[in-house]
Chains A and B, each alone.
Chain A
Amino acid sequence: MTLLRTMAAGSLALLILVGCADGGARAWIEASRAQSEAAAAADDVAQARAALEALLALEVPSTVAEDDARVIRQDAHERLGRLWLAQGDGARALAEVQRGLVLGEADDIFTANLWVLRGRVREARGEDSEAAADYHRALLIHEHLLSLALGDER
């Protein structure tokens, strides 16, 4: 009887833990979205940067798929990098690109945006051939996405 009670309590704790874990993933997505929208609606660069940094400071729950976290965080790094580049700080822009690429690469528009931004930074530095290589990587991903988009429409 005691064993049955123990097992019942364990099962209840298990359900609560699983429930909290899923809630943590959703809470992270919602908080990230809120910061992303705050950055888009920001009146100035400082506000936008603060919102994106707040997004990146959010701890990713273990229940979030690694690739989902990559997509969200690559987007934030790319937007931060663009803000730095617009202010003429190529080094910080490049650092954001590197932080984004460390998360992984995929044939999606989020990774493509990082290649484009790195090309822009290198182009601004006069590193034309390196910039061309980055643009070429972005081009290949766009071609893949275009074929997907057109195939999806047929």
Chain B
Amino acid sequence: MTLLLSSPALGHHSFGAEFDENMPVTLEGTVVRFEFMNPHSWIHLDVEDEDGNPIRWAVETGSTNALFRRGWRKDSLRAGDRIRIDAFRAKNGSNTANANSVELPDGRLFDAGSSRNAN
């Protein structure tokens, strides 16, 4: 199943204030925790640096309601899952980002909540 998305994630409020379209990041790592909630869900994952040390990232996605209608469930991501996220980094340079899309090891791409579509 592929639910492709190229548009920014939606809160029903603006996230342009916090995240930078000029700072795209691709994060490959291991899920630590997935918080399925409003106003945003959060994916906490460990991304390894060059020395193999895990760096903790917090990645914001759309609201639970938006994700639910795109097929997400609270156990869609479990601790230990290896995933790849395309996201935009926070303007303040912290290890925080806003997700565009999330790819699972089996190749499924999850839409992270598009502002272009209905919810």
Report whether chain A binds chain B: no
B: which residues have CB within 8 A of A? Answer: none
